A = this chain, B = another copy of it.
Amino acid sequence: MIPEAAAARGLTRASLVLCDGANDMSAPKDRRKAELSFETLNVHKEGAVLFIEISASPMNLLGPELVRDLVSLIQQAEADESVKVLVFKSADPDYFISHVDVTRIKENREPATKLTGEPSLGLLLRYLSASRLVTIAQIEGRVRGVGSEFILACDMRFAALETAIFGQFEPSFGVIPGAGGAQHLARLMGRGRALEVMLSAQDYDADLAERYGWINRALPAAELGDFVKSLAHRIATFPAMGHAVVKERVNAICLPTVEDIRRDSDLFLEGTRTNEFQQLTQHAFENGFQTRAAEIDLAKLVYDMQAKTDL
């Protein structure tokens, strides 16, 4: 079902490879694989697991192309009963998802609308959380802002001890995270740590992210891929009816409500319309915001630019 739909959409740059017998590596390639292409995702199917590599050059900012592809991927994967688990990782070793492309917040809203009828990225992510599909984030590199919100919307999160960096830095621009970050962090790590993470707008390494409950576990980078692959296949082996009922009951307790997500989304947008946010954003761009080099230490960038301003 996925390949036909993809062919109909005529996408070309990246591809979803469907293997009919992933474990049967001797089978001829033309019989085992069909291709579905996305602009910003490399997708590979093994058994009931889709491995999805985020590849949105130059630094995996979340812009409309990635939003459109994620929506399309989710719709097609949900429609294909042979798919049970999605694993998300990054093609960029430094950036998993860097954050929303601040110059294209409005453009993101139209493709986001397709999934829930509302233009909120938070509701798009919540849709994924509530899906029958089991989702696993395999994190290397920086994951900040809506990137953090994306992994928080996944069902579980594993990160490379040496390289993963986490940040929910929106409050350094005077705004609440717009896609559910505050909701998830407060529920996962409690009031004190959630306030610290957001109000400090600091970078957190994987060890501290694990201790705070931001992720399930930090693992050595050399073991991460095999661990996640094995876990994904293990889960996919078990009955889909178990996935559905467990997700339904856990979500009933822990998943932020639609109203809470919508409210944060609205408050974020309100904040972005203030002069203060506009000025800070402009200032940030003057200091290298949304460039690979400067965002290696984004926590320093957002502080330095304002500490200097205050003087």
Contacts and interface: CB of A to CB of B under 8 A. Distances in A.
Interface string A212-250: 010110000000000000010011011111110111011
Nearest to A152: B192
- Count of this chain's copies in the oligomeric assembly: 3
Nearest to A155: B195
Interface residues of A, number: 72
A285 B249 CA distance: 28
Contact of A254 (B191, B245, B307): B191
Contacts of A175: 241-242, 245
A238 B134 CA distance: 37
B303 A237 contact: yes
Nearest to A264: B249
Nearest to A154: B192
A267 B249 contact: yes
Interface of A: 23, 47, 134, 154-157, 170-176, 182-196, 198-202, 210-211, 213, 215-216, 231, 234-235, 237-243, 245-247, 249-251, 253-255, 260, 263-264, 267, 271, 274, 276, 280, 302-303, 306-307, 310-311
